[in-house]
Structure 1
Amino acid sequence: MTVTSGLSAPLVVVVGATGVQGGSVIRNLIESDKPYRFRGLTRDASKPAAQKIKDLGVEVVTVNIVVGNEAGVRDAFKGGDIIFSVTNFWEHVDREREVAEGKLMVDAAKAAGAKLFVFSGLPSVSKLSSGKYTRVAHFDTKAEVAEYARSQLPTVDVQAGYYMTNLDGPLNFLSPKKQDDGTYLWSVQGDPNSTLPYIDMDADYGLFVRFAIESPEYSKGGGTIYSYGERVTSPQAAASLEKLRGVTIKLVPVSQDEHRANVEKSELPPVVKGIVGDSAFVSEYGYYFGLELSEEQQRVRTGLARKPKTFEDFLRANPGFFAA
């Protein structure tokens, strides 16, 4: 336990401290042998999650990070040496709003004189696919914020891998869908042997942020870190679920045209239809476009404070997940 109130320790300001990513950052930094002061930002300090981090010694500050509350955000960031920032596209499904709020936080971090800005970004699918896939809004917007941040202050982009919890999520186009007979049908686009960078976000995302903050290579800013526990194919994930949950999963290949047609017939909002419809970029290029396979990224992985969880580790640690 390294939480301190000593002014010689760096103050880490964590946006979304009661959420999955922010909470993971706090917990993993607390496990470090280096001392830190923490300020956790949340819109609702009365939530049980806020009380939990307060009990750990985290200063909890209520702030609404929206355009129009620039002064409030600057006050919340004041004195921060390290800022961890995350945006939540799925809260509002608005491209312009996500970019505006991300840039607002960059500006507030710069005004605070932060020495390091750590952002939870994603690759620019539009650019990296040379314009083939242009509707993956939440990837492109985060890439735009990260690019802006780099132009303003020392920044590390710690990109968030594919949440293991997505497999039990609401978007049945991308996850196994339970049938009336209790079995599961999993529609898979493109190459079934393409991999996704699975990560237990709650447990392990903060591992990569901790590395960004404590590694001499990244702590002064610059670079991108691609977080994941392991690279997993759909057949491998299905096999793990069958083994550890006792379910039956049938994988069904679906063409891109058929997938897009199914999405267009759905009741999803237009922006979400675009995102889900263009999700085939993963099969063609990879979630991280293969950038996670570089020698530099392998050095990151060997430098982590501990090994991140595999998918089967996650399933064993969370017996209620995907319970039959």
Structure 2
Amino acid sequence: MTFLVTAATGRTSSGVVRHLRAAGEDVRVLVRNREKAQSAFSDLDGIEIVDGAFDDGAVLAKAFNGVDVTFLTIGGNPDQVRLEKAIIDAAAKADRPHVVKLSSIATSHDSALLPGRQHAEIEDHLAVSGLSHTLLRPVSFTDNLLYAAESVAAHNSWAGAAPTGRVAYIDIRDVSEAAALVLRDPTLHGKTHDWSGPDAYTFPEAAALLSKILGREIRYVPVSADERRSALLGAGLAKWYTELFVSLDTAAEAGALQAVTTTLKELLGREPRTVEEFLTENATQFTK
């Protein structure tokens, strides 16, 4: 089979590419920047690069030519809905590959999570496209904890609007590995896969874990959603990304990110990576 991986230099997609190639699969990547992709995959052979705008019909037609299965994600950004819809439309016009879409466990039209609302709109479009498809719905990525690193390094604390909400963080490396397994196994197609890490932490509990790892006291400082929003905007963060960060807090506080599932463990055949493992590996990020 031939696999197309979109936004292939992204955090999740790049791992998917590597797992597919390690399994000997033919991989084509769709990227905006050819040089970046060549650099990212300089140690791999057998990768075909298609570069250009993700809403360019000619680029997308070339990307989908002869493809059997595609991994659909472009990452969270203000244009995600429009661009993923364009990719879906191009797939429907081409050889109609099976589409494996990276979504979110908090996907719904009324989700407290901004990407959850975006994914709901995209999933609706995918459903009416006539394409066979699979949905991957992980909980929040452990990488999101790194957004607190600068504040922790400077002040031994970080602020947020989710003092009691739990998050069953999942490691991106596990998501990439599991996604590649799903892509390659037709018996796993046509389903919705809800994935989480092995434990759900509150932010104060994550702070206590960091304290143990770093050997100094780290505090989580509760603030209101409005205070969080004002602080982010005051620091110069763009409005859309401000709303993304605030929604990560409000979704956690609403309980939308707390579900612990066993499906990832069953698929990988091992325990998923833990939050403690991730924070230990990245401890220096919280001390710079």
Q: Equivalents in 2 of 1:249, 1:300: separation in Å?
A: 30
Q: Which residue of 1 aligns with 2:171?
A: 200
Q: Do 2:160 and 2:228's aligned partners in 1 also have CA atoms closer than 8 Å?
A: no
Q: Equivalents in 2 of 1:42, 1:257: separation in Å?
A: 37
Q: Does 1:82 align with 2:69?
A: yes
SS at match of 1:303: helix
Q: Does 1:177 align with 2:155?
A: no
Q: Do 2:3 and 2:25's aligned partners in 1 also have CA atoms closer than 8 Å?
A: yes
Structure 1 pair 178–127 and aligned structure 2 pair: CA distance change class (3 A): closer
Q: Which residue of 2 aligns with 1:157?
A: 135
Q: Which residue of 2 aligns with 1:44?
A: 33
Structure 1 pair 272–310 and aligned structure 2 pair: CA distance change class (3 A): same
Shift of 1:218: 2.5
SS at match of 2:286: coil
Shift of 1:23: 1.0
Shift of 1:106: 0.9
TM-score normalised by length of structure 2: 0.83
Q: Does 1:11 align with 2:2?
A: yes
Structure 1 pair 228–30 and aligned structure 2 pair: CA distance change class (3 A): farther
Q: For structure 2, list consecutive stretches of 5 or more residues without a partner in the other structure.
A: none
Q: Do 2:10 and 2:75's aligned partners in 1 also have CA atoms closer than 8 Å?
A: no
Give 1:57's match in structure 2, choosing from 30, 33, 45: 45
Amino acid aligned to 1:213: L
SS at match of 1:56: coil
Give 2:125's match in structure 1, choosing from 148, 156, 171: 148
Q: Which residue of 2 aligns with 1:238?
A: 207
TM-score normalised by length of structure 1: 0.75
Q: Do 1:208 and 1:225's aligned partners in 2 also have CA atoms closer than 8 Å?
A: no
SS at match of 1:244: helix
Shift of 1:57: 2.4
Q: Which residue of 1 aligns with 2:58?
A: 71
Q: Equivalents in 2 of 1:264, 1:17: separation in Å?
A: 30
Q: Do 2:195 and 2:263's aligned partners in 1 also have CA atoms closer than 8 Å?
A: no
Structure 1 pair 36–317 and aligned structure 2 pair: CA distance change class (3 A): same
Q: Does 1:127 align with 2:110?
A: yes
Q: Do 1:18 and 1:50's aligned partners in 2 also have CA atoms closer than 8 Å?
A: no
SS at match of 1:61: strand
- Determine which structure has the larger helix proportion and give its number: 2
SS at match of 1:268: coil
Q: Equivalents in 1 of 2:49, 2:186: separation in Å?
A: 30
Q: Does 1:25 align with 2:13?
A: no
SS at match of 1:321: helix
Work out which structure has the larger RCO, using CA pairs closer than 8 Å and 6 or more positions apart in sequence.
Answer: 2
Q: Equivalents in 2 of 1:77, 1:115: separation in Å?
A: 8
Shift of 1:257: 4.9
Deviations 1:143-197 (A, max 9, x none): 211221132211112134323232232xx6xx67247xx54122242443x2213
Aligned-pair identity (%): 23
- The alignment yields a C-alpha RMSD, in angstroms, of 2.9
